[in-house]
Amino acid sequence: MYRAGAQRGISAVMARAMRFCRDRRGVAAIEFAFIVPVLLIMYFITMEASQAIETSKKVSRIGSMVADLVTQQQTIVKADLDAIMKIGTSTLQPYNRSSPSIIITGIQITDEASPKVQVAWSRKVVGTTYSADAAKDSITTVPATLKIRNTFLVRVQSNLAYQPIITWSANNAKALGLTAAFNNISMGETYYLRPRRSPTIPCSDC
């Protein structure tokens, strides 16, 4: 009797084990638990990459647009430069996780056998702060192909320390512990354009 009862108990356990092995009702849930993190990671990477590419294009567009507006002027003043830079920064909207910097520099190349590249005037914005940049008559540099005697150039430098959305929160707190690895991706562009309507573009109060 004891041996028969033990055999029935073992048989019952084996039967339950076999039913458990054949039961596929929980497989989908287990697979879902494994797949969801991978899908979420792929989603965030795709979203972040597309947004970073679009923001980089906008940073480049800032430099192009600002340079184009400045070189259409015959003369200019600080207020005009500040207004043009404000228009440039507005093109980044709706991105608002960090502020761009824009530097506009009027460059005069002297009429000498060995021409000097001098700053005629310079203006910049960092965030919402407008100020002068390089000092008048200080020496700067331009690409060798643009170093032509007695010519004037407008240089526009646009830069942004891009903050990925996965490292940012509305109260500027660090998010997901990824700030150290991915925060502040440098984006920037430099444009050189010549005046459109006059040989030079003087700034009377810069």
pLDDT 10s digits, 94-128: 887 788 999 999 999 999 989 999 999 999 999 88
Residue 74 has pLDDT above 80, yes or no: yes
Residue 14 has pLDDT above 50, yes or no: yes
Of 47, 171, 8, 16, which Cα lies nearest the Cα of 97?
Answer: 171
Residue 8 CB partners (closer than 8 Å, separation 6+): none
Task: Identify whether 100 is part of a domain.
Answer: yes
In a domain, 48, yes or no: yes
Q: Phi/psi at 135 (nearest 5 deg)?
A: -70, 145
Total tally of structural domains belonging to the chain: 1
Average pLDDT over residues 18-42: 73
Answer yes or no: is 108 within a domain.
Answer: yes
**pLDDT band at residue 177 using 50, 70 and 90 as cut-offs:** very low
Is the model more confident about 69 or about 167? 69
For residue 202, being part of any structural domain is answered with: no
pLDDT beyond 70 at 12: no
CA distance 133 to 60: 20
Q: Is residue 6 part of a domain?
A: no
**Domain for residue 200, yes or no?**
no
End-to-end CA distance of the chain: 108
Cα 134 to Cα 131, 138, 185, 206, distances in angstroms: 10, 7, 25, 11
**Do the domain assignments include residue 12?**
no
Residue 121 lies in a domain: yes
Domain of 64 in residue numbering reads as 25-193
Mean pLDDT of 154-174: 74
Residues 76-105, mean pLDDT to the nearest whole number: 91
Place of tokens 């700067």: 140
